[in-house]
Amino acid sequence: MTRPLTIREAAGRVLRRPIPWVLRYLGAVVPALLVAALLVVPLRGWLSHPLVAEAFETRSLDLLVDALMDLAEGLDGGPVLLAGLVLTPIVWGGLQLVWLFLEGGVLATYALPDHPTARQFLQACITYTASFLLIGVATSLVTGGVVVAGVAGVAAAGALLPWQWPGIVVGALTALGVIAVHTVAQQTRAAAVVAGDRNVRTALRCAGRIFRRRFAPLAILTAGTLATRALLAILASTLSGWIPLSWWLLTLLVQQSLQIAVTGVGLVRRAGQVAIASSSEVPLSATDIGA
């Protein structure tokens, strides 16, 4: 039985195999830039208006909404803004499907003993897409159930009890439940790729064994990566409040650097989950996905 990788070793594997990092980052930033260009270019007249400029400088959402409502009747671009608002969730949904397709190749990148070839990467993407889609649908349903139960619990605690702490406890348990559901889903995907088995039930049983045998390293990996992402979010918020918006180039560099870091943290978690699965199951070989 092999020793599971530490977070530091998982980060090293992500750095040594950067293709998933590049794909994930470009897959997020390029569509976002396209949507932004679609909105900014036709609405540049809006953005240059003094009221909108003041709203951006003061970072006042209320002032921005009021300014846009006042300008909506006097300037062109309303249909473009509406199209952008409709297009944004469509792009987001499309990205989720693209990332779901790439997930098999990403996990195989960290599961294989050597760098995968382009053919191996693509074959892993194709092989596990249907299984990962099923896992994703089940995860969404279970997450929805946990959230609904949590909201109902918080509402009931607020209505029946005079203290605030029961509602806080229920809210915290709901958040932990959502994290647990997503961790199970991610570990199930990792177990499927490591075992080279597309059967979701088999992968779920493997994930259950992993939770029993490797709960401590999995909990440390999950808590560590979540804490790192929280720290990056705090850093991003702090820097956004400190850097003037007129320093747009510095703002862009800082924001994208933090986005790259956030993407890397997510991949460290995946590499660690693959390593933990490999310590409990028979590791994937190159012949399992085609040389």
Q: Please say whether the dihedral angle defined by the alpha carbons of residues 251, 257, 261 and 264, taken in this order, is positive or negative.
A: positive
In-domain check, residue 54: no
Work out how many domains the chain is built from and give that number: 1
Establish if 48 belongs to a structural domain: no
171 pLDDT more than 60: yes
Q: What is the structure's pLDDT at 148? A: 93
Radius of gyration of the chain (CA): 22
Q: For residue 106, name the pLDDT band (cuts at 50, 70, 90).
A: very high
Q: How confident is the model at residue 130 (pLDDT cuts 50, 70, 90)?
A: very high
214 domain-assigned: yes
CA distance 274 to 107: 7
Check whether 169 has a pLDDT greater than 70: yes
Give residue-wise pLDDT tens across range 54-105. 666 555 566 666 666 665 555 555 565 566 666 777 777 888 888 889 999 9
Q: Is residue 58 part of a domain?
A: no
Rounded average pLDDT over 6-34: 83
pLDDT over 50 (residue 286): no
DSSP string for 235-259 = HHHHHHHHS-TT-HHHHHHHHHHHH
* Least confident window among 17-21, 139-143, 166-170, 222-226: 166-170
Q: Is residue 69 part of a domain?
A: no
Band of the pLDDT at 287, cuts 50, 70, 90?
very low
Establish if 183 belongs to a structural domain.
Answer: yes
Q: What is the pTM of this model?
A: 0.77
What mean pLDDT is predicted for residues 241-254? 77
- Evaluate whether residue 14 is within a structural domain: yes
Share of the chain above pLDDT 90, in %: 34
Enclosing domain of residue 157: 7-42+77-288
User: Given pLDDT bands bounded at 50, 70 and 90, which one contains residue 197?
Assistant: confident
For the chain, what is the mean pLDDT? 80
- Name the residue with higher pLDDT: 271 or 251: 271
Q: If you average pLDDT over residues 195-211, what whole number do you get?
A: 89
User: What's the pLDDT at 157?
Assistant: 79
- Residue 12 lies inside a defined structural domain of this protein: yes
pLDDT of residue 74: 52
